[in-house]
Every structure is written in structure tokens, then in C-alpha cells.
């Protein structure tokens, strides 16, 4: 077990390093640089001369050779220093720390909502014996997955904020401002969960152990909730990694539509400003979350399913 965990941790570090390096290379190869971005400002004012730009690049170290820049920045990153934003001068770690709570709040609410709605939908759809209800419910997830998040957000804002005034259209103060963004973000994720769970439940209900249970006189609800659901939820746990990725990607759109500050907005503004240190920081953050989620899923899976034995394939 210990060896397994160590190995997974080692892999996690390798993935982080790869993410850092690939993003650095890609960003380095892009035309333009942060100094030009600073001098561009809001595109106000007369153009700056080429010599002046060169002098500024030298001042900020953006004219150093690729390997020197990579080496220095990686070395600092290993010491927990991801540099400073060229846009605001704020330390990247501080900028991310400032943006993170709001995104975590949004993502956690969306995750809870999508598990409740998606899971509930799958349970009801597979439990009901009314044919058309089942067909209707099972048709919902594919529709929901294909709705653009941006559009869903705008429609929700239009109705529940502008027309009925139930929730604020912007900002991140209080629980009321989380509702609409969380619902928007939960739509595609809940649909994904519903789709996977419904399929697995249907498969599980066809298994021989269900027939046995039924023969023993166990009620339908108990079979559904205790026996079938437990087995069917394993694949859902495995797609959690994918879901976390969706949450991060979705926050970019949702935070823009609902004017929330957060990691998504930080990403948008730093990408458009070519704020390389911040973009790098966000990439590292995303990779970390991804790696941790998958590690967690791998460690939790044996608890949910005794058939999965940790470390066997490695020993």
C-alpha cells in the first residue's frame, strides 16, 4: 500500500513537471511578451519605440535565452515562488489564493447540485415502470450536455434575475449569488453523471444477484438503492476526474457570464493580457487539482469495492 501511494505521488510530481514545462514552451513560442502587453496598456497613447521596448524587456529578463528563463522560473517555482503578475505586480500565488475561494465555493455547490439532480434523475428513470416517463427522463441528459453553458447562463440571468428579480445577476456576495452560477455549471455535469449512472444502473439491474435478491423477497426500493446503486456508482467515481476538469473549464464561462471573480476570470484576463506567470500558475493549479482528484479516486475505490485491490498489479 505504502509503495503504491509513493509511486502514485511520484507520478503526480512528474505530471506537474510536464504540465509546467509544456505550458512554458507553448507560452514562450507564442508571439508577443508581457512587456509589450504592459506597454500596450489599454491601447491608449502613442506607440512606444522599438528601442524602448527592448530596454524594458532586458529590465524584466524577458530577453534572456529560453533555457535561462526556463531554469530560473522552474527553480523559483520549486521554492513555491511562481513569480509576479506583470499586469498588477501581485504575486501569482497571492492572486490565485485570492481567486480560489470563490471558485471552490462555486464548484463545490455545482458538484453537490449535479450529484443530487443527476443522481436523482438516473434513479427515478431506472426505477419507474412507466415507459414514457423513463424515455423522457433518459432523453434529458443528452439534451442538457449539448446546451452551451454560455447560453444557459444568459437565459437563467434573463429570467431569474432581470425578469423576476429572485437572484442577483452578478457578484459573489452571499448564497443568493451562488445559485444561478452553480445551476448553470451543474447542468452539463449533472447530465454527465445522470448518463453514466443510468446506464450502469440498467446494467446492474440485469445482473444475476438482483434476481437472487428479488427471489429472497427484498423490496424493489431496497434492491435499487442498496444493491444496484452501490455497484453502479463505481464508474461514476471514476469519471469524477473528468468532472473536476469540466468544473474548472466551466468556471471560465460561468464566472464571465455572472461577473464573479475567481480562477476562471483570472485565466481569461491573464491569457488576454499575456500575463505569462499567472497563466503558468493557473496551469499548475489545474494540473494539481487533476492529479489530486485522480489520486483520491484511486485510493477511495477499494473502500467502495473490495474487489479492487490496491497495489496488486504493482507487486
Partner 1 sequence: MNHTTRPTFRAGAARHRASRHTLLAPGALGATLLLAACAPGGATETDGEGGDGAAASALPASAPEEVTPGGALRFAVGSDQGCVDPQQVGSNDTIYSIRHLVDSLTDQDPETGEIVPWLAESWEVNDDASAYTFHLQEGATFSDGTPVDAEAVKTNLDRATDIGARGALIKGYLDGYAGTTVEDDRTFTVEFDRPNAQFLQATSTHTLGLLSPESAAQSDDERCASVVGSGPFTLENYEPNSSITLAKREGYDWGSSLWQHTGEAYLDTLEFSVVPESGVRSGSLQSGQVDVIGNIAPQDEEPLKAADAQLLARANPGIPFGLYVNHDNEVLSDPAVTEAIALAINREEIVETVYTTYNVPATSVLASTTPLYADQSEHLRFDPVAAEAALTEAGYAKGEDGVYAKDGQRASFDILWFNNAATNAPTLELIQQQLASVGIEVTLTEGQVADWAATVAEGNFDANWGNITRADADILRGSFHTGLANSYRLEPSDLDDVLEAQAGAADPAERAELAARAQAQIVTERHVVPVVELTTVLGVGPTVQGVAFDAGSRVQLYDAWIER
Report, in Å, the least distance between residue 92 CB and partner 1: 12
Nearer to partner 1, 77 or 95 (CB): 95
Per CB under 8 A, contacts with partner 1 among 172-211 are 172
Q: Residues 89, 174, 208, 217: which binds partner 1 (CB under 8 A)?
A: 89
Distance in Å from the first CA to the final CA of the chain: 10
Report, in Å, the least distance between residue 47 CB and partner 1: 4
Q: Does 251 bind partner 1 (CB under 8 A)?
A: no
Q: Does 29 bind partner 1 (CB under 8 A)?
A: no
> What CA–CA distances, in Å, run from 211 to 195, 223, 224, 283?
24, 10, 12, 49
Report, in Å, the least distance between residue 255 CB and partner 1: 9
Report, in Å, the least distance between residue 230 CB and partner 1: 43
Q: Residues 254, 266, 289, 291: which binds partner 1 (CB under 8 A)?
A: 266
Q: Does 260 bind partner 1 (CB under 8 A)?
A: yes
Using DSSP's 3-state secondary structure scheme, residue 178 falls into helix
In the numeric block, the cell 514545462 is attached to 21
Report, in Å, the least distance between residue 273 CB and partner 1: 5
Half-sphere exposure of 234 (CA within 13 A, CB side): 17
Q: Does 53 bind partner 1 (CB under 8 A)?
A: yes
Per CB under 8 A, contacts with partner 1 among 101-160 are 154-155, 157-159
Alpha-carbon Rg for the chain, nearest whole angstrom, is: 24
Closest by Cα among 96, 108, 31 to 283:
96
Per CB under 8 A, contacts with partner 1 among 149-168 are 154-155, 157-159, 161-165, 168
Q: Residues 12, 27, 36, 299: which binds partner 1 (CB under 8 A)?
A: 36
Q: Where are the alpha helices (DSSP H) in the chain?
A: 2-29, 34-40, 50-60, 66-78, 92-127, 131-146, 149-156, 176-205, 208-215, 220-222, 229-238, 240-257, 263-272, 276-304
Q: Which residues pair with 91 in a beta bridge?
A: 84
Q: Hey, what's the torsion of the CAs at 112, 113, 117, 123, to 10 degrees? A: 10
Evaluate whether 311 touches 5 at the Cβ level (below 8 Å). Answer: no
Binding site for partner 1 (CB under 8 A): 31-50, 52-53, 56, 59-60, 84-85, 87-90, 95, 98-99, 154-155, 157-159, 161-165, 168-172, 256-261, 265-266, 268-269, 272-274
Amino acid at each position: 500500500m505504502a509503495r503504491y501511494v509513493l509511486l502514485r505521488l511520484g507520478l503526480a510530481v512528474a505530471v506537474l513537471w510536464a504540465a509546467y514545462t509544456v505550458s512554458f514552451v507553448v507560452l514562450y513560442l507564442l508571439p508577443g511578451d508581457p512587456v509589450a502587453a504592459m506597454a500596450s496598456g489599454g491601447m491608449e497613447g502613442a506607440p512606444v519605440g522599438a528601442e524602448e521596448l527592448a530596454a524594458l524587456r532586458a529590465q524584466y529578463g524577458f530577453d534572456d535565452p529560453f533555457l535561462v528563463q526556463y531554469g530560473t522560473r522552474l527553480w523559483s517555482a520549486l521554492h513555491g515562488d511562481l513569480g509576479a503578475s506583470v499586469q498588477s505586480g501581485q504575486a501569482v500565488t497571492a492572486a490565485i489564493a485570492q481567486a480560489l475561494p470563490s471558485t471552490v465555493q462555486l464548484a463545490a455547490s455545482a458538484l453537490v447540485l449535479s450529484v443530487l439532480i443527476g443522481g436523482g434523475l438516473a434513479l427515478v428513470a431506472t426505477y419507474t415502470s412507466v415507459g414514457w416517463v423513463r424515455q423522457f427522463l433518459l432523453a434529458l441528459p443528452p439534451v442538457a450536455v449539448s446546451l452551451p453553458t454560455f447560453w444557459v447562463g444568459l437565459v437563467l440571468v434573463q429570467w431569474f434575475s432581470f425578469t423576476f428579480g429572485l437572484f442577483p445577476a452578478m457578484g459573489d456576495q452571499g448564497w443568493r449569488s451562488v445559485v444561478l452560477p452553480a445551476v448553470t455549471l451543474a447542468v452539463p455535469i449533472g447530465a454527465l453523471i445522470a448518463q453514466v449512472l443510468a446506464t450502469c444502473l440498467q446494467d446492474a439491474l440485469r445482473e444475476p444477484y438482483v434476481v437472487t435478491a428479488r427471489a429472497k423477497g427484498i423490496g424493489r426500493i431496497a434492491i435499487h438503492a442498496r444493491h444496484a446503486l452501490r455497484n453502479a456508482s463505481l464508474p461514476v467515481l471514476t469519471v469524477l476526474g473528468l468532472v473536476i476538469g469540466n468544473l474548472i473549464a466551466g468556471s471560465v464561462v460561468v464566472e464571465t457570464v455572472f461577473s464573479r471573480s475567481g480562477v476562471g476570470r483570472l485565466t481569461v484576463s491573464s491569457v488576454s493580457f499575456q500575463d505569462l506567470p499567472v497563466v503558468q500558475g493557473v496551469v499548475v493549479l489545474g494540473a494539481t487539482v487533476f492529479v489530486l482528484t485522480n489520486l483520491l479516486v484511486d485510493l477511495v475505490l477499494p473502500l467502495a469495492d473490495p474487489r479492487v485491490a490496491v497495489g496488486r498489479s504493482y507487486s
